Amino acid sequence: MKLPTILISTLSLLFTFSAGQLYADDQTQAAAAPVEHEEHGAHEHGTAKLSLSVGETGLEIMLDSPAVNLVGFEHMPDTDEDKQKLDDLVEKLEGGDELFNVNPEAECELKDTEVLSGLLGDDIGNAEAGTETAPTTAEPQNSDAHNDVDVTWAYACNKPAELKEVAVKLFSAFPEGFQRINAEWVTDKGASAVELGQDDTIKLTP
Ligand SMILES: [Zn+2]
């Protein structure tokens, strides 16, 4: 599915507007919330960015999503229930084959999954090297922050030239999570972008 650029722009504006309103509500409740880091761009609940990159040896898929889409919350886990949900999430994400299907002719195999999140103790929101969160205070530093989850799936493919399609099943895998996923892909033959509103197959052809 491909929308005309002008329509995508209009939709983006609409979503930005409504997300801005939600955000304002959030911030009245949590006035001390740290400002979202600019380099991460807009953090809109219900949306995510998906990037597919085809190289000489395989396929890399990257998801950049607000944590709430995947685990239902963004505060630091402070109960056993929250921690269990995070453990379950990591396990689910590592089962990448249930989230994506690559066309079989390319003979791809999921080799590695990396899951990074402030909720897992990773410092992904801070680009300054050498800055560490001091674990000195009893209260979690990021308790009111908006946290992301960044996932990278690395597929090794015997026939990467045969990579034609990737079916994305994130909407059904996280039925409460996504309203919209902005997907972009790049191969040595071209690049394009598509906005997904449901599970769909991305065709990696110009
Ligand atoms: Zn958030």
Report the alpha-carbon distance of residue 125 to residue 141 in Å, rounded.
13
- Residue matched to tokens 């039925």: 175
Least confident of 24-33, 76-85, 175-184: 24-33
Per the domain annotation, does 103 fall within a domain?
yes
Per the domain annotation, does 153 fall within a domain?
yes
What tens digit of pLDDT does each residue of 93-122 get?
Answer: 998 888 999 999 999 999 999 999 999 999
More confident residue, 192 or 132: 192
| Strand-pair partners of 182 | 49, 195
**Residue-number span of the structural domain to which 118 is assigned:** 5-123+143-203
By the 10 Å C-beta count (0-12 exposed, 13-18 middle, 19+ buried), 2 is classed as exposed
Per the domain annotation, does 130 fall within a domain?
no
Per the domain annotation, does 138 fall within a domain?
no
Instruction: Tell how far the Cα of 184 is from the centroid of ligand 1, in angstroms.
Output: 22
Question: Residue 39: left if φ>0, alpha if ψ -120 to 50, beta else—which one?
Answer: alpha
Mean pLDDT for the stretch of residues 2-6:
45
Per the domain annotation, does 29 fall within a domain?
yes
Instruction: Tell how far the Cα of 68 is from the centroid of ligand 1, in angstroms.
Output: 6
DSSP state of 77: P
| Strand-pair partners of 113 | 153
Per the domain annotation, does 185 fall within a domain?
yes
More confident residue, 52 or 23: 52
DSSP state of 199: S
Per the domain annotation, does 64 fall within a domain?
yes
The count of domains in the chain is 1
Per the domain annotation, does 114 fall within a domain?
yes
Q: Pairing state of beta strands 47-54 and 180-187?
A: parallel
Instruction: Tell how far the Cα of 80 is from the centroid of ligand 1, in angstroms.
Output: 21
Predicted TM-score (pTM) of the model is 0.72
Check pLDDT > 60 for residue 28. no
- Residues of the chain with pLDDT > 70: what percent? 69
pLDDT given at position 53: 97
185, 114 contact by CB (below 8 A): no
